[in-house]
Each structure stands twice: as C-alpha cells, then as structure tokens.
Amino acid sequence: MSNISEKRICQNCKGEFLIEPEDFSFYEKIKVPPPTFCPECRRQRRNAWRNTFSLYSRKCDLCNKSVVSIYSLDSGIIIYCNKCWWSDKWDPKNYGVNYDFSKPFFFTAQRAHE
C-alpha cells in the first residue's frame, strides 16, 4: 500500500477521479481491486436497478389513506401508510411460508411466490 493518492481515469465517462491511501487499504482489506469507475458512475450503476424516480399515488391497503409509493397499483404489492405499518393492525405472519428443510432456503422462498 502506498501513502500517496492516485489519480485514475474512469473507464465509463473518461473523467479523472482520485483514490486516497485509506481507500486502497480498505479495498485490500475486503479483497477487491480498486475501482475503475468514478464515484458518480458507480452511484449511477447502483441506482440503475432501483425505482426512485417513478412515484405513484396509492391508497393504504388498511385505512385507505392516500399515500405516495414506488409501487404501482398493478404491481400487486400490498402497501401500508406509515401509521398502519408501525401499528398492530396487520399480522406479519400472514406473509410467512412453510419451510421445507429438505430443500435449500432460497429455492423454497422463490417457489412459494409462484
């Protein structure tokens, strides 16, 4: 590990970015190579899979209060307003599935929703 900062060129936007010595020690600790994308391009890649820009007007599925959600009405996802979510009005056990110990966990959880 060196004690100097290193300038790199982003392979995506071709912009220059800096990697500090502390960053190099962190990457070494978690056994990953230093980044080849600048922080802004890395942020864009992480957010590409998230829906933070499409918002929908919905009704809480318990109290019918109008709420803003990242899930559209046709998504089939049940949503609750903040007050209902933190209340005892709904039973989280309604969303549980029986576990089959003879199958891997992720296989069972995936198949339960099909």
- Give every CB contact of residue 80 below 8 A, 6+ residues apart in sequence: 60, 61, 62, 90
Cβ pair 1, 24 in contact under 8 A: yes
Same domain, 87 and 63: yes
Q: Whole-prediction pTM value?
A: 0.46
Best CA proximity match to 95, nearest among 83, 113, 72? 113
Full domain range(s) for residue 107: 56-112
Q: pLDDT digit string (tens) for 40-96? A: 999 999 888 776 678 999 999 999 999 999 899 999 899 999 999 999 999 888 888
- For residue 64, being part of any structural domain is answered with yes
End-to-end CA distance of the chain: 49
Show the tokens assigned to 71. Answer: 């899930």
Cβ pair 44, 15 in contact under 8 A: no
Same domain, 29 and 61: no
Q: pLDDT digit string (tens) for 98-113? A: 888 888 777 544 444 4
Same domain, 65 and 104: yes
Same domain, 79 and 101: yes
The number of domains in the chain is: 2
